[in-house]
Amino acid sequence: MSVLKELDTRVMWHPFTQMGEWDPLVIARGEGNYLIDEDGRRYLDGVSSLWCNVHGHRHPRLDAALREQLDKLAHSTFLGLTHEPGIRLGTALLEVAPRGLSRVFYSDSGSTAVEIALKQSFQYWQLTGHPSKQRFLRLGDAYHGDTLGAVGVGGIDLFHRIFGPLLVRSIAIPSPASDGTALERLEHELRTRADEIAALVIEPRIQGAAGMLVHPPGFLREASRLCRAHGVHLIADEVATGFGRTGTLFACQAEDVQPDFLCLAKGITGGYLPLAATLTTEDVFRAFLGRRTDLRHFFHGHTYTANPLACAVGLASLALLQESTFPSALALLPEVGRSLDRLRSHPNVRSIRQCGFMIGIELESLEGRSTGYEVCALIRSHGVILRPLGDVVIWMPPLTLQPTDLELLETATRRSIDVCFGLQCST
């Protein structure tokens, strides 16, 4: 065992990991769409380093933006002060975000972006004379992060059940991916108790952590219309879907939806640094205005809010996305579709769900086994890194994926499924 592996095993505690079965893989470098381990082995980063890498690793444009900012300022607080990278990125985000959003509140992770939207929505209703609007609607199997507020609007039992006693409870609407009555149930809740409800929190179009559950077209638009009609905010959590992942720059734009809050993180810096943003409307912003002594302002902030290095790289990432990464990703999508069609016919693949570059390959379940986990362990020997969600193998590669990378991803996935299910290798 290498020195680093030995040290890691002795002192580290990794997220979402059963440390009793931990087998470390030490990543030493990144190069384009590949990660390179300490022994020089290369792996396609098939889940974009947990869904955040956009342009591949060590992109010269992002590296340069970061270095340039480093020569000016690494960090200064956004509480009571401001700085150019924060202002410029915020302005650029509003230019490309769904219409109707005009204010940007920074934080540092997807979970905090959601917490902020929940708290701002809640406080908005308190400030505007609707004190009974204190509850949140969410979808079945929702995932919005791991801080307690975000867990309170989450619905993945496996992750959330144990923390139940700590949570502010939300009202669940069935996921439209699995229940055709979702809109009726939403309408019922809104009709009967909109005066208790601050907001509906939703992952637009596709619920990632639930195993890539795709919503029927039109659901988002109709849910948004119903919220508006009943005076309930719509919080769109685009932490996973934002920055081109679903085939539009933001998922809301596919259904021309204008949310009251848009939560962004992950891809906002191209996967370089922790940064998040909660975008909202002028109506929400104005409700918090007054004199300092009125105590109407938003009492929330984090030390690294709007970190200048992160904002500078975020600005470069957004420009690059629009100029080249997003158009080239769109051009590759038909090829991705053909690749998935071939995998769909595999005897141990139950279904494949896709929304742009967010893909879930659901495998057959086997009693007492974790097929998704096993396939993702096997695939490493083919030079690919993937992470499963239960029996669903996730593909969420960088948007700079090349045809040869796609070929590797498909072949390695098929062969690993073959071995997992004890089949002869099919290719």
| Interface ranges with ligand PLP (CB under 6 A) | 109-111, 114, 143-145, 203, 208-209, 237, 239-240, 265
In Å, how far are 18, 113, 277, 312 from 89, measured between CA atoms?
38, 16, 10, 7
User: Helix (H, G, I), strand (E, B), or coil: what is residue 37?
Assistant: strand
Residue nearest to ligand PLP (CB): 110
Token reading at 184: 């009726």
Closest to ligand PLP by CB, 14 vs 188, is 14
Closest to ligand PLP by CB, 305 vs 339, is 305
Closest to ligand PLP by CB, 273 vs 315, is 273
How far apart, in whole angstroms, are the C-alpha atoms of residue 123 and residue 421? 52
CB of 426 to ligand PLP, least distance (A): 32
Strands 206-207 and 213-214: antiparallel
How far apart, in whole angstroms, are the C-alpha atoms of residue 206 and residue 322? 22
End-to-end Cα separation, the chain, in angstroms: 33
Closest to ligand PLP by CB, 86 vs 149, is 149
CB of 295 to ligand PLP, least distance (A): 29
CB of 348 to ligand PLP, least distance (A): 27
Beta strands in 27-152 (DSSP E): 27-31, 34-37, 42-45, 103-107, 135-139
CB of 52 to ligand PLP, least distance (A): 8
Q: Yes or no: say if 156 and 143 are a contact pair by the CB < 8 Å rule.
A: yes
What H or E segment, with its residue span, contains residue 197?
Answer: strand 197-202
Token reading at 156: 């993945």
User: Helix (H, G, I), strand (E, B), or coil: what is residue 157?
Assistant: helix
Closest to ligand PLP by CB, 276 vs 420, is 276
CB of 124 to ligand PLP, least distance (A): 21
Amino acid at 278: T
CA dihedral 379, 381, 385, 389 (to 10 degrees): 30
Closest to ligand PLP by CB, 189 vs 203, is 203
Closest to ligand PLP by CB, 220 vs 239, is 239
Closest to ligand PLP by CB, 113 vs 406, is 113
CB of 150 to ligand PLP, least distance (A): 6
Cα–Cα–Cα angle for 43, 48, 53, rounded to 5 degrees: 120
Cα–Cα–Cα angle for 202, 204, 205, rounded to 5 degrees: 135
CB of 115 to ligand PLP, least distance (A): 9
Token reading at 382: 């083919």
For 71, which DSSP code? T
CB of 264 to ligand PLP, least distance (A): 10
User: Helix (H, G, I), strand (E, B), or coil: what is residue 65?
Assistant: helix
Q: What's phi and psi for 278, nearest 5 deg? A: -115, 115
How far apart, in whole angstroms, are the C-alpha atoms of residue 185 and residue 216? 15
Closest to ligand PLP by CB, 114 vs 385, is 114
CB of 239 to ligand PLP, least distance (A): 4
CB of 220 to ligand PLP, least distance (A): 14
Closest to ligand PLP by CB, 245 vs 414, is 245
Residues facing residue 106 across a β-bridge: 277
Displacement of CA 20 from its chain's centroid (Å): 28
